């Protein structure tokens, strides 16, 4: 399952601007070292660790740390949605398009 997010504030990488990020549903191993409750609560430290593992283009922890807070909240919401069971996603209308 992938979800593309258009950033409110592009991330500068060299001469290029990253204007959108695709996130894929993480596998259990990609959540190592992070508590699920921290991710569900959109803890900045947890997001900074997990987003580089599941983003395309691959972001660095430093890029995530410098991200516009509105973009980080948007990404955190998508990531939290990935952690919900399919039945809950369907009820909330969060299933992949």
pLDDT of residue 79: 92
Averaged pLDDT for residues 21-41: 94
User: For residue 7, what is the enclosing H or E element?
Assistant: strand 2-13
Give the chain's mean pLDDT. 91
CA distances (Å), origin 8, targets 73, 80, 91? 11, 20, 28
The answer to whether the peptide bond before residue 47 is cis (omega within 30 degrees of 0) is: no
**Each residue of 57-93: pLDDT tens digit?**
999 999 999 999 999 999 999 998 888 887 776 776 6
Provide the percentage of residues in the chain whose pLDDT is more than 70: 93
């Amino acid at each position: 399952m992938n979800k593309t997010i258009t950033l409110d504030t592009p991330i500068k990488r060299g001469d290029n601007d990253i204007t959108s990020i695709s996130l894929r549903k993480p596998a259990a191993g990609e959540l190592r070292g992070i508590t699920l409750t921290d991710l569900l609560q959109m803890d900045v430290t947890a997001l900074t660790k997990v987003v580089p593992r599941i983003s395309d283009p691959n972001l660095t922890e430093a890029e995530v740390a410098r991200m516009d807070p509105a973009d980080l909240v948007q990404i955190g919401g998508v990531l939290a949605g990935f952690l919900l069971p399919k039945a809950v996603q369907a009820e909330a209308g969060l299933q992949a398009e």
